[in-house]
Chain A
């Protein structure tokens, strides 16, 4: 559950991650687990410039994760019906897709 898996989550292409949830709601579990993984030391060390912000609300709203990439793209994940694994895998695939592009462009 906690560990991101064989390929660690790379945050090189990520500018900002904003997580907002309501802790008294039962649907915020997966979002909290996602935050716990993304906010861990290992993952944050891949990109120190990336900010991880968390907002705690109390208005029975849905848990939402907003990820802003370096090239301006925004990935919005509504975690009410998602598991943390699904969110992590989507996030990882997006990151990996962006990262080799940047590396290849830099090399060229």
Chain B
């Protein structure tokens, strides 16, 4: 806008308002305060840089990697399954430091009784046991352990053979699907065999019948005398019982 300067004719007189010809500039030497609408626009369209990801090992991965079991592990598991099915007696012992000679001698001695020594890695053993019925055996398998398996539970012979080697410590056994501790094993070894137990049972049951058979086979006079004695006893008991009852009342 143009305004003409008033030039006074009187010296020393200046007007009250002095209007300037130029307006405000866009490019200034100082920081010009932003208009409020421009401020809002700038805030809305601000650039947000992407956050740098954490280094690869900083946090545990959210997905759990389940490794597929290798062929060897599957083979061992199958062997274990067959072992548990075939062999009735499976004993677990810890061997801390038997050398190969001791092991060989022990293997030889046990083989005479039909007991085999088996080695399995503890990890595979534990994963197999936890899946199967025998999960309570799992805490036994720590450290250097050895499996002693046999089809017939020959506990006594096993105990005597193991006593010879000081390094092998028996931890427990699974005989015919029952988990036994050491004390259980000792009492199992002291049990008589099945045939003797059967014989004892039969003799106990037939004792009474055999007695009557023997009595009948003897001379009938003996039997009649016994029966008469029995009747006498019955009568005396009843007569004794009656006066006692009277005395009590």
- Which residues of A approach B to under 8 Å, CB–CB? 23-26, 29, 32-33, 35-41, 43-44, 52, 54, 56-58
Out of A36, A44, A52, A56, which one reaches B182, CB within 8 Å? A56
Q: Could you write out 12 A-B pairs with CB less than 8 Å apart?
A: A23-B140, A24-B139, A25-B139, A26-B139, A32-B143, A35-B96, A36-B97, A37-B96, A44-B97, A56-B169, A58-B182, A58-B183
Do A23 and B139 touch across chains, with their CB atoms under 8 A apart?
yes
Q: Looking at the complex, which one of A36, A37, A40, A58 makes contact with B94 (CB distance below 8 Å)?
A: A36
- Cα–Cα, bound, A16→B229 (Å): 73
A61 and B14 CA atoms in complex are apart in Å by 113
B110 on the A face (CB < 8 A) = no
Distance A40 CA – B96 CA, assembled complex (angstroms): 6
CB–CB B167/A39 < 8 A: yes
* Chain B positions 104-159 with a Cβ under 8 Å from a chain A Cβ: 136, 139-140, 142-144
Nearest-neighbour CB distance to chain B for A61, whole angstroms, equals 13
CA–CA, A37 to B97, complex, Å?
8
**Which listed residue, B97, B143, B181, B183, touches A41 by the CB 8 Å rule?**
B97
In the complex, are the beta carbons of A24 and B181 less than 8 A apart? yes
User: Which of B96, B169, B171 has the most C-beta atoms of chain A within 10 angstroms of its own C-beta?
Assistant: B96
Contact, CB under 8 Å: B140 / A24: yes
Of B94, B97, B182, the contact of A32 (CB 8 Å cutoff): B94
Query: Which of A23, A26, A36, A58 is B96 in contact with, Cβ under 8 Å?
Result: A36
Q: B57-69 toward A: CB 8 Å interface, digit per residue (1/0)?
A: 0000000000000
- Is there contact, CB below 8 Å, between B94 and A24? no
CA distance A43 to B167 in the complex (A): 13
Number of interface residues of B (CB under 8 A): 20
Contact with A along B155-184 (1 / 0, CB 8 A): 000000000001101111000000001111
Query: B97 is contacted by which of A23, A39, A56, A57 (Cβ under 8 Å)?
Result: A39
Other 17 A-B pairs with CB < 8 A, given A23-B140, A54-B94: A23-B139, A24-B140, A24-B181, A32-B94, A32-B142, A36-B96, A36-B143, A39-B167, A41-B99, A44-B97, A52-B166, A54-B169, A56-B169, A56-B182, A58-B182, A58-B183, A58-B184
- When distances are taken between beta carbons in the complex, the residues of chain B under 8 Å from A25 are 139
- Knowing A25-B139, A39-B96, say if A57 contacts B169 (CB, 8 Å): no
A26, B96: Cα distance in complex, Å:
19
> In the complex, which residues of chain A have a beta carbon less than 8 angstroms from the beta carbon of B167?
39
Among B56-90, those with CB < 8 Å from A are: none
* A contact residues around B184 at 8 Å (CB): 58
Distance in angstroms between the alpha carbons of A20 and B71 in the assembled complex: 39
With a cutoff of 8 Å between Cβ atoms, the chain A residues found around residue B182 in the complex are 56-58
Given A36-B94, A56-B182, A58-B181, A23–B172 Cβ distance below 8 Å?
A: yes
In the complex, how many angstroms separate the beta carbon of B240 from the nearest chain A beta carbon? 55
Q: How far is the CA of A90 from the CA of B145 in the complex (A)?
A: 26
| Nearest chain B residue, comparing its CB with the CB of A33 | B143
How would residues 29 to 45 of chain B score, 1 for a CB under 8 Å from any chain A CB and 0 otherwise? 00000000000000000
User: In the complex, A58 Cα to B182 Cα: how many Å?
Assistant: 7
